[in-house]
């Protein structure tokens, strides 16, 4: 026989916890959709990656290859 350290939520408290859980699920879903949409949009904009540039430096001067 096991007993709980705290009593199970009853009545309005149970409904409140259920509604808070549902609201959190909706917020998580919306945030996920926003992030996925942003990643898809970012992927389309940057179609080609720029060429890498090698820099050489001597002290305070930096030479760009041509």
Assessment of whether the complete model's pTM goes beyond 0.85: no
pLDDT of residue 10: 79
Provide the mean pLDDT of the chain: 80
pLDDT of residue 24: 98
pLDDT of residue 57: 66
DSSP conformation letters of 27-66? HHHHHHHHHHHHHHHHHHH--SPPPP---EEETTEEEPP-
């Amino acid at each position: 026989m096991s007993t709980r350290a705290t009593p199970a939520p009853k009545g309005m408290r149970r409904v409140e916890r259920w509604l808070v859980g549902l609201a959190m699920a909706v917020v998580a879903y919306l945030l996920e959709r926003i992030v996925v949409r942003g990643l898809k949009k970012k992927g389309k904009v940057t179609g080609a990656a720029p060429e890498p540039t090698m820099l050489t430096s001597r002290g305070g001067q930096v030479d760009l290859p041509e």
